[in-house]
Amino acid sequence: MEKLIEKSEYLHYINDNDTLLVGGFGLSGTPLTLIDELADSSKKGLTIVSNNLGEAGKGLGKLLLSKNIKKAKGSYFTSNRDAVKAWSDGELEIELIPQGTLAEAVRCGGAGIGGFYTKTAVGTKLAEGKDVKVIDGETYILEKAIKGDVSLIKAMKADTLGNLIYDHTGRNFNAVMATAGKIVIAEVDEIVEAGSFSPQEVETPHVYVDYIVMNKYVKKGGKYVEHS
């Protein structure tokens, strides 16, 4: 399978100061294997676009402790006390984006749309410096599309062509982020033969996926542990 690579190989496609789109909601649907490799690397100055920065010492929280991250763009950072402290200490830049706005901005990035107008955050500090437009008597602000240099996503299964399906709510931000990165790397639990999925089951078509890495974790008792 040409798209399957070793987990350490994918680091060749990430450069210092890149913007990474990372799937996940909490730790659900988070590419933990890819994050581990990145945390052990010397990549610096990264901007992470994700719903949150994992938990303390887990998921994207590892990248924070390993000092790979310069800036985080997302919706919910207080689940990780280390992120709050790093921001308070001036060690981490944070751009807060309402959750629906984040999803739509990434979708626009993948669809070739420059941005969109929304009422969300009008009249708040999040609207400062943004273009304002009145449409049919309602005030909107312009939110620009979000795109990334590399998308790191997590799927349940891939076929040998690279078509992906997700594990229920593990889909979260993964499917939309797969459309908005110049390079897309998917961590998967299982690889099956092409044709194993019906067209209706495919949630991310293989044309979006550049490389696949096998997941080294398994969920047991509600916790993620490495395969024995």
DSSP conformation class of 14: -
Are 69 and 48 a contacting pair, CB within 8 Å?
yes
How many other C-beta atoms can be found within 10 angstroms of the C-beta atom of residue 113? 13
For residue range 3-60, what is the model confidence (pLDDT) as tens digits?
A: 999 999 999 999 999 999 999 998 999 999 999 999 999 999 999 999 999 999 999 9
pLDDT category at 202 given cuts 50, 70, 90 is very high
The two beta strands, 138-144 and 115-118, are antiparallel
- Of the candidates 180, 183, 179, 188, the one whose C-alpha atom is nearest the C-alpha of residue 217 is 188
For residue range 62-90, what is the model confidence (pLDDT) as tens digits?
A: 999 999 999 999 999 988 999 999 999 99
How many other C-beta atoms can be found within 10 angstroms of the C-beta atom of residue 136? 5
DSSP letters spanning 27-96: TBT--HHHHHHHHTS---SEEEESS---BTTBTHHHHHHTT-EEEEEES--TT-HHHHHHHHTTS-EEEE
Residues ≥6 apart with Cβ < 8 Å to 155 = 164, 165, 166, 167, 170, 174, 186, 187, 188, 189, 203, 204
